[in-house]
Chain A
Amino acid sequence: MPHIVCLVKQVPDPETPASQFKVDEAAKKVIPAPGIQPTRSQFDTIGVEAALRIKDKLPDTTITVMSLGPDSFRDSIKHCLAMGADEGVHINDPAVNDGDHWQTAEVLAAAIKKLGAFDLIIAGRQAVDWDMGVVGSTIAEILDSSIVTIAKDVQMDGGKVTVERVLLDGFETVEASTPAVVTVSNELGEPRYPQLRQIMQAAKKEVKAWTLSDLGIGAPERRTTLEALFIPDTSVQTEVIEGDSAQEKAQKLAQRLHEAKLI
């Protein structure tokens, strides 16, 4: 029975309009935008989709959704269970809920070990909050499993995974032995959206609630310190090209670009 663990993080909505995105520079934290709910990190639900596509072919697959964070993260786990994952693990411990990426990876790796054997761990290519893109690879190193990053397709079949990776100028197919960690990208496609019936079924699925003491570990060392968080000023002097017609505006823009020696 194949076992897949999907790592899912909750993040501030990345589509928050720039005008509503604010940070508290002293606290070095993002101020939640009023009325905008946090959401599942986009690549992570794409990871759940990748797992579900495997389960569509290999129905005896078990998919565990795992998340490390405060109470609100439970909503993201529930969403993934409604998508079709089988069970959830919510690690919730104030000692590490706000940890750096390496604390997060150490704790998630310990939780995966506690679950027992796995064939595949799927993570996002990067969490769409800090955009770091290290947790998947770090867990692979900790667990000494193979790792393939930035996937657009993941196939699993008897002791190996075949992964299509997105390169800057193309694609490559990589075969990896299991257990493996794969990080996924948006080129994989849209994640399925739960139906009402599935949302109701998900209410009955188990979400294990663990703390560090359940994992039998203390808080790992923090390797980085956030020294500053700020919003850069990227605005420039803008000239609006006026004109009565598209024709007139086109002529003016061409002229400006010519004056600036750009064309």
Chain B
Amino acid sequence: MSVLVFAEATEDGQLNPVTAELCGAAQKLGGDITVALLGKGVEGLSAQAGAYGAKKVIVVDDAQLELYLGDTYIQPAERIAREVGADAILFGQTMMGRDLAPRLAQRLGTAVAMDCTALTSEGGKMHAERPCFGGAARARYSFNSSPAMATVRVKALEPAAAGASSAEVVKQDAGIDASKVRTKVLDRRKEKAEGVRLEDAKVVVSGGRGLGGPEGFQPLETLAGVLGGAVGASRAVCDLGWYPVAAQVGLTGKVVTPDLYIAVGISGASQHMAGISSVKNIASINKDADAPIFKNSRWAVVADAKEFMPAFIEEVKKVKAA
């Protein structure tokens, strides 16, 4: 099976780690891998992009591709997809993948399974497994159309190991037809996150509606500080304006993979759990002994967050000092 992987760069000019995960999946599919990398200032990443088992890297490095915009990216993406003619095309379920893959699928007259957590090869064809119904169920699809396309949830699959890159690197022009660009980015604002990034944190301390108000997050921030971790939140509290949207964990927020996830006053709705499905160590604090989150937790503490958190912070400090 030939596989086309859409790599991507992060905003600070690194290769997005999802690239290795996509190539890992492509290798398991038995793939003859081509990697496409679009962006501005990305040419320097070509060798690295080719180090995960690719035969060929197609790089389009163009100032017009500095900020992701569907109308510009779709043009080289469609051209490359047609040229490569792969049996399968993979994207990360990133800002780019979410937006670009469905458009590309329609242009190629095919289908794309979004946010997949497993890809398999059945009789030489890709099948894609993905969570649905808010994470409560899993569905597995095969494709009647070609190429088979999938976006893959970040950090869900084993990354390929980097080897020496023997990939052929081919530079291409963006070839953007300005008359087909019907959208324009007027402004982009980052929500400033202090300290450790949620996606990279080894410890995440997350809060939900059980915290009772925005002030309930203070002890969580203290604890995250002590543990060198980051603070996450349920959608309920982001919707209420208690905590910034950028901290939302879950189906429509971020996927996090810390070694330890501490959930405080979170009920454990499937849509929240979708963001921590690969976390092995979950410790939950909830005042309701029947809270659904306890079923997925390695440690369950039935307690009022207000009483528990100050005591817990002190105990953690003691353990760390010892």
Within 8 Å by CB of A263, from B103, B132, B190, B319, lies B319
Give the total number of A-B pairs whose CB atoms are below 8 A apart.
Answer: 244
* Nearest neighbor of A145 in chain B, beta-carbon distance: B182
Within 8 Å by CB of A14, from B145, B238, B271, B295, lies B271
Name which of A12, A131, A174 has the most chain B CB atoms within 10 A of its CB.
A131
B contact face: mostly helix, strand, loop, or mixed: mixed
Chain B, residues 87-118, CB within 8 Å of chain A (1/0): the string is 00000001100110011011100111111000
The 4 lowest CB-CB distance pairs between A and B, nearest first, are A223-B111, A254-B315, A250-B311, A137-B102
Which chain A positions have C-beta within 8 A of B132?
A: 129-132, 229
A37 CB-CB contact with B under 8 Å: no
Within 8 Å by CB of B133, from A12, A147, A186, A246, lies A12
Which chain B positions have C-beta within 8 A of A260?
A: 281
Is B315 touching A250 in the complex (CB atoms < 8 A)?
yes
Is A166 touching B141 in the complex (CB atoms < 8 A)?
no
8 A Cβ contacts from B261-313 to A: 269-271, 273, 277, 281-283, 292, 294-304, 307-308, 311-312
Which chain B positions have C-beta within 8 A of A224?
A: 111, 113, 141-145
Is B312 touching A186 in the complex (CB atoms < 8 A)?
no
Which chain A positions have C-beta within 8 A of B106?
A: 102, 105, 137-138, 141-142
A172 CB-CB contact with B under 8 Å: yes
Within 8 Å by CB of A170, from B107, B114, B136, B188, lies B188
B159 CB-CB contact with A under 8 Å: no
Q: A126-B114, A138-B103, A167-B188 are in contact. List 19 more A-B contacts (CB 8 A).
A: A12-B133, A14-B133, A15-B269, A23-B137, A100-B111, A129-B133, A132-B113, A133-B102, A134-B112, A146-B183, A170-B188, A174-B184, A174-B186, A175-B184, A223-B111, A223-B143, A224-B142, A234-B296, A254-B312
Provide the bound-state CA to CA distance between A29 and B239, in Å: 31
Is B139 touching A228 in the complex (CB atoms < 8 A)?
yes
Is A225 touching B144 in the complex (CB atoms < 8 A)?
yes
Which chain B positions have C-beta within 8 A of A253?
A: 283, 299, 301, 312, 315
A258 CB-CB contact with B under 8 Å: yes
Which chain A positions have C-beta within 8 A of B251?
A: 131
Q: Which of A71-79, A199-207, A237-245 contacts B (4 or more CB under 8 A)?
A: A237-245
Which chain A positions have C-beta within 8 A of B140?
A: 226-229
B227 CB-CB contact with A under 8 Å: yes
With A130-B132, A137-B102, A240-B300 in contact, do A225 and B141 touch (Cβ < 8 Å)? yes
A198 CB-CB contact with B under 8 Å: no
Q: What are 14 A-B pairs at a CB distance below 8 A?
A: A14-B271, A168-B246, A170-B188, A173-B185, A176-B183, A180-B182, A226-B140, A227-B142, A229-B139, A232-B137, A238-B294, A241-B299, A250-B312, A257-B319
A249 CB-CB contact with B under 8 Å: yes
8 A Cβ contacts from A8-33 to B: 12, 14-18, 21, 23, 28, 30
A148 CB-CB contact with B under 8 Å: yes
- What's the least CB distance linking A261 to chain B, in Å? 9
B193 CB-CB contact with A under 8 Å: yes
Is A176 touching B182 in the complex (CB atoms < 8 A)?
yes
B76 CB-CB contact with A under 8 Å: no
Is B314 touching A250 in the complex (CB atoms < 8 A)?
yes
Chain A residues within 8 Å of B, Cβ to Cβ: 12, 14-18, 21, 23, 28, 30, 100-102, 105, 125-126, 128-134, 137-138, 140-142, 146-150, 162, 166-177, 180, 185-187, 221-232, 234-241, 246-247, 249-251, 253-258, 260, 262-263
Q: Which of B26-34, B56-64, B252-260 contacts A (4 or more CB under 8 A)?
A: B252-260
- What's the least CB distance linking B315 to chain A, in Å? 4
- What's the least CB distance linking B18 to chain A, in Å? 12
Is B134 touching A14 in the complex (CB atoms < 8 A)?
yes
Provide the bound-state CA to CA distance between A252 and B270, in Å: 28
With A14-B133, A225-B141 in contact, do A168 and B311 touch (Cβ < 8 Å)? no
Name which of B132, B191, B307 has the most chain A CB atoms within 10 A of its CB.
B132
Which chain A positions have C-beta within 8 A of B297?
A: 236, 238
With A130-B133, A174-B185 in contact, do A221 and B144 touch (Cβ < 8 Å)? yes
Provide the bound-state CA to CA distance between A148 and B227, in Å: 39
Is B114 touching A133 in the complex (CB atoms < 8 A)?
yes
- What's the least CB distance linking A2 to chain B, in Å? 18
With A134-B112, A171-B189, A239-B299 in contact, do A146 and B182 touch (Cβ < 8 Å)? yes
Which chain A positions have C-beta within 8 A of B115?
A: 131, 133
Which chain A positions have C-beta within 8 A of B203?
A: 262-263
B71 CB-CB contact with A under 8 Å: yes
B245 CB-CB contact with A under 8 Å: yes
Is A147 touching B70 in the complex (CB atoms < 8 A)?
yes
Which chain B positions have C-beta within 8 A of A232?
A: 131, 137-138
Is B299 touching A246 in the complex (CB atoms < 8 A)?
no
Is B112 touching A229 in the complex (CB atoms < 8 A)?
no
Is A249 touching B301 in the complex (CB atoms < 8 A)?
yes
